[in-house]
Structures are given as structure tokens and as C-alpha cells.
Amino acid sequence: MSKADIRPPVNLKIATMTDLARMLVSWSQRDRPASMLYFEHKGRHVYGTLISNHGYYDYYGLPLWIYTELEHEPEGIFLSYTARPKESVNFVDSIESEPMTVHLPIIRLTEKFEILDLE
């Protein structure tokens, strides 16, 4: 298989970082721990992850690039998501053991992931 044979995943742009965090946290509780990729592309700050929607009709799965964009780079190395008492998302540099808080590691890429089809 060559690079030319690799098709890009389907893009699914999420409205906000809170929505993306909520999706990654719920997904990680079912399948595997989630992490978030970050890179700059054409002046945009892109946060996202690759997942596969298993059992997509007759295929082995539908590859999805689930992402959102912010106006700034991450201000920490983890995204902290708290569901209660009030939902919140923050960038942090260390993991605190707080109840109802999930920490997603942010993996910084040097450039856009090659197989992504972003304009």
C-alpha cells in the first residue's frame, strides 16, 4: 500500500471544545482512553482525534476525524473536563485527583497530520 492508496477520514467538526471534550470522555469510557491531537494549520489552532465508527454497514469501520478549532494554542498539557456540579473545560499542566474530573492528554504535532483533508 502506498500513501496514494490511503483515503482521508471523514471530517466531523464539533461546535465547541466542551462538546469535543464531552464526546472524547464518553468515548474513552467505552473503548479506550482518549487523547487529543493539537496542531496549527493555516493560522488555525486545531484540536481533535481520530476514531473509527465500528460496524459501519458492510465495512470494518468508518474513520472519523473529530475536531474543533480555537483562537489559541493549548495553555497546558492536559484538557481537564469536569461534569459536576457545573460542566467546565480547562487546560492544566498537571493531573489533580478531583472527583468527576477527567484529564485528556494533549499531544502536540509539529504540523497537520498528513492524511487529514482540511482546507
Q: What is residue 32's predicted lDDT score, i.e. its pLDDT?
A: 67
In a domain, 11, yes or no: yes
pLDDT tens, position by position, 21-46: 999 888 776 656 788 999 999 999 99
Q: What is residue 1's predicted lDDT score, i.e. its pLDDT?
A: 63
Share of the chain above pLDDT 70, in %: 90
- Name the residue range of residue 37's domain: 6-108
Cβ burial, residue 33 (10 Å; 0-12/13-18/19+): exposed
- How far apart, in whole angstroms, are the C-alpha atoms of residue 22 and residue 28? 10
What residues contact residue 7 under an 8 Å CB cut-off, 6+ apart? 115
Sign of the torsion angle spanned by Cα atoms 97, 84, 92, 78: positive
In a domain, 90, yes or no: yes
In a domain, 113, yes or no: no
Say whether pLDDT at 119 is over 90.
Answer: no
In a domain, 63, yes or no: yes
Q: What is the pTM of this model?
A: 0.86
The domain tally of the chain equals 1
